[in-house]
Each structure stands twice: as structure tokens, then as C-alpha cells.
């Protein structure tokens, strides 16, 4: 669909879980001929990093194997986005493996430490903010350092940063205070970086989906339905009723938006926080 992406190199963070947004984004970019490094934490660490929230080494390898059926140029890398040295090593690995880095998709995030504000712990708050926002900052920092060493591609530019925000980047919701704070912050980082990096022909944008029933999204539905005293069916029906297009988001909706923002067709778009919400969010 986007021939100018053929041969580009991208990192997609948090892409090691089946049925996840990251997997869908990586798959779409692979279809457009992009060489990929798929990243995830690679290990389960109790309540702060449970199996439904992170991709294990084995699951990440399986995701990569599936995507290699589309495009064989796919590698994997395990790193903790909270640790600057590990994120720096992730970027260095992409350059070592493929010779350059053109695209970063900041998808890694914690979307499962929910609950009442008064019950939240410092560990919960720090985990969410450190993965969702600090990790995106680290990845952007080192990706841009590499992009600035590279030539400008005529008709495309020098680089692309796309961060996965949320409807929660624009609006608040109960039981998700740390998540909402992190996603609002991600849009602020996007806008500031876009202003700074525009003269270097690096675009920086965010994609803001509403709820997507991924594997993690299924857990979120069950949690929220129980917290609100609703059946799962009633909770989902109410959600669909708020969306003008009448359905919840699908992973491919977000993946298609990412691919567009990475393409030459989006060369004049930067600093945007693009809603992909079926009309549920309009600002």
C-alpha cells in the first residue's frame, strides 16, 4: 500500500504478545516491506508485569515467526523500557542488524494496573509512568540520535516517530489515573518533540485509539464490567452505544493509522494526536 516504506527499518516496542496492538502494527509494517525489530520485556514479573500484560521470550519469538511468513526481515530484542541502558541497546541492535533506523513505534505500555486512586501504590504509579512515558522518552531519544546521522530521503524525510496514545490521552476515566496521566504526557512529549525535530525532517505523531479488544483488552473489559457491577455483555453494549460507528476498535484500525503516518503521504503531518475511535473522541 505504501511503496516508499519498502526497505525501511523500524522498531515496534511492546510487540511480543499475540493479539496485541504491537503485533498488529508490526504485521502491517512488514506487509509494507519494512524490516523490523520486535521488542518486548520477555519475562513475567508478578503483579507488575503479569502474563496478560507482557510478551514472554517464547511468545515474542512465535509472533516474529508468524510475521516472517510475510517478510523474513524480522528480528527480536528483549529489553526493560524502564532502564535507559537497555533501551539504548535496543536501538543499537536495530542499527547493528539492519544498518540504520528509520521508524520508531512507541507501543510498549502498561494498561492493567487499574483500581481506585485511593488504593494505588507508589509501585503501581511508578511502573505505569516509567514504562508508558519514560520508556517512550528513552526510545525517542536514542532513535532520534541515530536518525540524525542518516540522510534525508527525497519525498519521505529523515525519520518517523509514532507513539501509541489512547482515548485516555484526551479524556479521563475512573480507576485508571496513572494510565490516563501517562497517556496525556505522551501527547505532550509528541508535540514538543515535533516542534524540535521538524527542521530535521523527523515527524513525531501519536495515534489515539479508543478501546481495542486485544488479549489485554479482554481482561480490561472483564475488570471494568465487574468494577461497575455490570455483566460483560451489558458493559460491551454500553461501550458500543457511545461510538458513532457502532463497534469497538480493532487492532488493524490502529495499525493502518500507524502505517499511514510512517508513509510519505504523511510527510507534512507532525505533532498530531490522531483519534482512531470510531467517532467516540473528537478533539
Average pLDDT, the chain: 95
Query: Distance between CA atoms of 233 and 236, rounded to whole angstroms?
Result: 5
* Domain CATH number, residue 116: 3.40.50.720
Q: What does the pLDDT look like over 159-196, one tens digit per residue?
A: 999 999 999 999 999 999 999 999 999 999 999 999 99
Residues 188-212, mean pLDDT to the nearest whole number: 97
Q: At residue 72, does pLDDT exceed 80?
A: yes
Q: Which residues pair with 162 in a beta bridge?
A: 105, 205
**50 — pLDDT class (breaks 50, 70, 90):** confident
**Residues, the chain, total?**
283
> pTM surpassing 0.85?
yes
Residues 22-35, mean pLDDT to the nearest whole number: 98
**143 — pLDDT class (breaks 50, 70, 90):** very high
Instruction: With respect to residue 149, please indicate whether it lies within any of the assigned structural domains.
Output: yes
Range of the structural domain that residue 251 is part of: 3-266
Instruction: With respect to residue 272, please indicate whether it lies within any of the assigned structural domains.
Output: no
Q: What does the pLDDT look like over 7-22, one tens digit per residue?
A: 999 999 999 999 999 9
Return phi, psi of residue 187, to 5°. Answer: -70, -40
Q: At residue 101, does pLDDT exceed 90?
A: yes
Long-range pairs, 83-92, Cβ under 8 A, ≥24:
84/138, 87/135, 87/138, 87/139, 87/142, 88/138, 88/142, 90/11, 90/13, 90/37, 90/39, 90/139, 90/142, 91/11, 91/139, 91/142, 91/143, 91/145, 91/146, 92/142
Query: Which positions are annotated as active-site residues?
Result: 179
Instruction: With respect to residue 273, please indicate whether it lies within any of the assigned structural domains.
Output: no
pLDDT at 216: 79
Instruction: With respect to residue 204, please indicate whether it lies within any of the assigned structural domains.
Output: yes
The percentage of the chain sitting over the pLDDT mark of 70, rounded to a whole number, equals 100
Instruction: With respect to residue 132, please indicate whether it lies within any of the assigned structural domains.
Output: yes
Spatial CA neighbour of 218 closest among 58, 17, 49: 17
Using the 8-state DSSP alphabet, how is residue 62 labeled?
H
Instruction: With respect to residue 194, please indicate whether it lies within any of the assigned structural domains.
Output: yes
Q: At residue 233, does pLDDT exceed 80?
A: yes
Spatial CA neighbour of 224 closest among 178, 175, 278, 179: 175
Residues 114-128, mean pLDDT to the nearest whole number: 95
Taking a C-beta distance cutoff of 8 angstroms, is the pair 51, 19 a contact? no
**96 — pLDDT class (breaks 50, 70, 90):** very high
pLDDT at 45: 77
Residues 199-204, mean pLDDT to the nearest whole number: 98
Q: At residue 47, does pLDDT exceed 80?
A: no
Taking a C-beta distance cutoff of 8 angstroms, is the pair 162, 114 a contact? no
What is the number of structural domains in the chain?
1
Instruction: With respect to residue 280, please indicate whether it lies within any of the assigned structural domains.
Output: no
pLDDT at 245: 97
Q: At residue 49, does pLDDT exceed 90?
A: no
pLDDT at 53: 76
pLDDT at 153: 94
Amino acid at each position: 500500500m505504501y511503496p516508499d516504506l519498502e526497505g525501511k527499518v523500524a522498531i515496534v516496542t511492546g510487540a511480543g504478545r499475540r493479539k496485541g496492538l504491537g503485533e498488529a502494527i508490526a504485521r502491517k509494517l512488514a506487509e509494507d516491506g519494512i524490516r523490523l525489530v520486535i521488542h518486548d520485556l520477555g519475562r513475567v514479573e508478578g503483579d507488575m508485569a503479569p502474563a496478560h500484560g507482557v510478551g514472554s521470550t517464547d511468545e515474542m519469538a512465535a509472533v516474529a515467526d508468524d510475521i516472517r511468513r510475510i517478510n523474513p526481515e524480522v528480528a527480536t530484542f528483549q529489553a526493560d523500557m524502564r532502564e535507559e541502558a537497555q533501551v539504548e541497546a535496543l536501538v543499537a541492535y536495530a542499527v547493528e542488524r539492519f544498518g540504520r533506523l528509520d521508524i520508531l513505534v512507541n507501543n510498549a505500555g502498561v494498561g492493567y494496573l487499574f483500581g481506585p486512586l485511593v488504593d494505588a501504590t507508589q509501585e503501581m504509579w511508578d511502573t505505569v509512568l516509567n514504562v508508558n512515558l519514560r520508556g517512550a522518552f528513552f526510545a525517542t531519544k536514542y532513535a532520534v540520535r541515530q536518525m540524525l546521522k542518516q540522510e534525508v530521503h527525497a519525498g519521505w524525510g529523515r525519520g518517523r516517530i509514532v507513539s501509541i496514545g489512547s482515548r485516555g490521552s484526551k479524556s479521563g476515566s475512573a480507576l485508571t489515573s496513572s494510565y490516563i496521566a501517562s497517556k496525556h504526557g505522551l501527547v505532550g512529549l509528541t508535540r514538543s518533540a515535533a516542534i524540535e525535530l521538524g527542521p530535521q525532517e523527523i515527524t513525531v505523531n501519536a495515534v489515539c485509539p479508543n478501546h481495542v479488544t486485544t488479549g489485554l483488552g479482554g481482561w480490561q473489559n472483564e475488570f471494568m464490567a465487574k468494577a461497575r457491577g455490570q455483566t460483560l455483555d451489558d458493559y460491551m453494549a454500553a461501550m458500543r452505544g457511545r461510538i458513532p460507528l457502532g463497534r469497538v476498535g480493532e487492532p488493524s484500525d490502529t495499525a493502518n493509522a500507524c502505517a499511514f503516518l510512517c508513509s510519505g503521504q504523511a510527510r507534512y503531518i507532525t505533532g498530531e494526536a490522531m483519534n482512531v475511535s470510531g467517532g467516540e473522541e473528537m478533539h
